[in-house]
Amino acid sequence: MAYYDQREADRRHRLRQGRIKKIRDELSDILNDYWDRYPRSSGEESELEYKIEERLRYVHRDMDNFVREFRYLPNE
């Protein structure tokens, strides 16, 4: 039974790492896309900041859901 529990813990760990990597990659893509479209010298920084903050709210919500989902899993 311990072998199965360890395999399940490893599988869940890989899922967590995959979700974290996906969110980081998504944020990186969004930021790169915005910086390409709105160079810092264009005066569009306030719009850019708003869009980044809006997207970060979604990311924080996703991370909160992610933490809630895995909070009660065994750490074996």
Q: How confident is the model at residue 72 (pLDDT cuts 50, 70, 90)?
A: low
State the total domains in the chain. 1
Q: In the prediction, which pLDDT does 15 show?
A: 82
Does the residue 76 lie in any domain?
Answer: no
Helix 2-37, helix 45-70: angle, nearest 10: 170
Domain assignment of residue 19, given as a range: 2-70
Does the residue 75 lie in any domain?
Answer: no
CB 9 within 8 A of CB 74: yes
Q: In the prediction, which pLDDT does 39 show?
A: 64
pLDDT, tens digit, for every residue of 9-56? 888 878 878 887 888 788 778 777 777 776 665 555 567 677 777 777
Does the residue 48 lie in any domain?
Answer: yes
Does the residue 6 lie in any domain?
Answer: yes
Q: In the prediction, which pLDDT does 21 show?
A: 80
Residue 6's contacts (CB-CB under 8 Å, 6 or more residues apart) are 76
Does the residue 36 lie in any domain?
Answer: yes
38 DSSP assignment = S
Q: Position of tokens 């969004």?
A: 30
Residue 76 confidence (pLDDT) above 50: no
